[in-house]
Amino acid sequence: MRNVLTISGLKGGTGKSITALNLSASVALYGKKVLLIDCDPRANVSRWRKIDSNGNDHDLTQVLSGRIRVPDAVSGTDIDGLDILPSGFGLFSMSLKLTRRTENEKLLRLIIGEIEHDYDIIILDSPSSCGYLSIAALTAADWLAAVVTPDDDWVCDFHSLINIVRYIRKSHNAPLGIAGILFNRCNGVEQMEHRTDPQVLKQIRPLIYKTMIPDDETFAREQCFHSPLSLYDIKAKASQAYLEMAREIICAFNLN
Ligand SMILES: Nc1ncnc2c1ncn2[C@@H]1O[C@H](COP(=O)(O)OP(=O)(O)O)[C@@H](O)[C@H]1O
Ligand SMILES: [Mg+2]
């Protein structure tokens, strides 16, 4: 299977973008070659170092429109080995056009094919919705990492996501596997267990990543919101957790 991992989840604000950015940075800090693709018109991960593509004609929207090729839209970052394919709000109107044909859901997958051998792993940040961009980001991947927070609805949201995975496997004959469930803003296994029905937990426990990302107020500092936290505070609880998560991913994807 290809090392293409989409960070997804249907609920907003669970930490998908923070995870896509910090996980990509942490895997790159271990010396791996990583491409981070921003599939969200809100462009949260593209704002790092002001790579926000508004006013820039080298982004995912331009690639999807066929105006430029993917290598021309990718730029380097402050972290060796980490490249980014940014987005901007133009992606919203592009997605409205592309949503008209089911076949277009495979477009991003085809586009990534041109560069996937240049990287150890490609990580996509998906928006929180059931719309075209989420479907395209999942269809592009061979693996899904669901980011959830320990609240009463998380299992219900996860099951809805699994229904989308089934749709993609069936409609596009895509080999989308579930890499794992990442608990964010979670201060330990007990908190996760407390919010999960024991019968359900029994079934899905093997899917839950050992690493959990704690609630960390360091993210609230202005410069840490849109940048990898490890660049500012490598000792912060969340920086350490994302480095641990990166080791889990490196191991699971055999990147050693
Ligand atoms: N582990 C965490 N500790 C503290 N704040 C967090 C944590 N994870 C996410 N947040 C905050 O939650 C908000 C939503 O995160 P974001 O990654 O944008 O979510 P999503 O992409 O799922 O919508 C952001 O303001 C972010 O700072
Ligand atoms: Mg997001």
What does the pLDDT look like over 75-129, one tens digit per residue? 999 999 999 999 999 999 999 999 999 999 999 999 999 999 999 999 999 999 8
44 Cβ closer than 6 Å to some ligand 1 atom: yes
128 Cβ closer than 6 Å to some ligand 1 atom: yes
CATH number at residue 154: 3.40.50.300
In angstroms, the Cα distances linking 238 to 38, 52, 84, 90, 122 are 21, 24, 22, 32, 22
In angstroms, the Cα distances linking 147 to 23, 100, 110, 179 are 12, 28, 25, 11
- Residue with CA at minimum distance from ligand 1 atom 20: 13
Nearest ligand 1 atom to alpha carbon 127: 21
Q: Which of 35, 33, 41, 10 is nearest to 20 (CA)?
A: 35
Crossing angle (nearest 10°) for helices 237-252 and 16-29: 70
Distance CA 152, CA 91 (A): 32
Q: What pLDDT, on a 0 to 100 scale, did the predictor assign at position 75?
A: 92
Residue 247 reports pLDDT greater than 70: yes
Distance CA 47, CA 127 (A): 15
Tens digit of each residue's pLDDT (9 = 90 or more) over 129-148: 889 999 999 999 999 999 99
Instruction: Give the model's confidence band at 47: pLDDT under 50 very low, under 70 low, under 90 confident, else very high.
Output: confident
Tens digit of each residue's pLDDT (9 = 90 or more) over 151-194: 999 999 999 999 999 999 999 998 999 999 999 999 999 999 99
Question: Torsion angle of alpha carbons 100, 103, 108, 112, nearest 10°?
Answer: -160
Tokens of 210: 């050992």
For residue 13, how far is its CA from the centre of ligand 1 (angstroms)?
Answer: 6
185 Cβ closer than 6 Å to some ligand 1 atom: yes
Lowest mean pLDDT among 9-23, 97-111, 198-212, 225-239: 225-239
3-class DSSP assignment, residue 122: strand
User: Which residue among 18, 22, 183 has the greatest number of ligand 1 atoms within 8 angstroms of its CB, and so is best to mutate?
Assistant: 18
Tens digit of each residue's pLDDT (9 = 90 or more) over 49-73: 665 555 567 899 999 999 999 999 9
Range of the domain at 125: 4-252
18 Cβ closer than 6 Å to some ligand 1 atom: yes
DSSP 196-237: S-HHHHHHHGGGEEEEEEPP-GGGGSHHHHSS-GGGT-TTSH
Q: What pLDDT, on a 0 to 100 scale, did the predictor assign at position 221?
A: 81
Question: Torsion angle of alpha carbons 98, 100, 102, 107, nearest 10°?
Answer: -10
Q: What pLDDT, on a 0 to 100 scale, did the predictor assign at position 52?
A: 52
Mean pLDDT (whole number) for 33-41? 97
Instruction: Give the model's confidence band at 226: pLDDT under 50 very low, under 70 low, under 90 confident, else very high.
Output: confident
Domain count, the chain: 1
Mean pLDDT (whole number) for 209-221? 93
Q: For residues 241 and 152, which has the higher predicted lDDT (pLDDT)?
A: 241
Question: β-strand 121-125 against 82-85: which pairing, if any?
Answer: unpaired
For residue 31, how far is its CA from the centre of ligand 2 (angstroms)?
Answer: 25
Nearest ligand 1 atom to alpha carbon 220: 27
Q: Which of 232, 237, 106, 253 is nearest to 169 (CA)?
A: 106
Nearest ligand 1 atom to alpha carbon 238: 1
Q: In whole angstroms, what separates CA 253 from the centre of its chain? A: 15
3-class DSSP assignment, residue 151: coil
12 Cβ closer than 6 Å to some ligand 1 atom: yes
Q: What pLDDT, on a 0 to 100 scale, did the predictor assign at position 1?
A: 84
Give the pTM.
0.96
For residue 216, how far is its CA from the centre of ligand 1 (angstroms)?
Answer: 10
Proportion of the chain above pLDDT 70, given as a percent? 95
Distance CA 51, CA 62 (A): 15
Phi, psi of 141 (to 5 degrees): -95, 160
Mean pLDDT (whole number) for 26-55? 86
CA angle 199, 12, 79 (to 5 degrees): 105
Distance CA 2, CA 63 (A): 21
Q: What pLDDT, on a 0 to 100 scale, did the predictor assign at position 51?
A: 59
Mean pLDDT (whole number) for 210-231? 87
For residue 199, how far is its CA from the centre of ligand 2 (angstroms)?
Answer: 30
For residue 191, how far is its CA from the centre of ligand 1 (angstroms)?
Answer: 18
Distance CA 21, CA 238 (A): 12
Nearest ligand 1 atom to alpha carbon 214: 1
Q: Which residues neighbour 201 within 8 Å (Cβ) at sequence distance 6 or greater?
A: 193
Q: What pLDDT, on a 0 to 100 scale, did the predictor assign at position 55?
A: 56
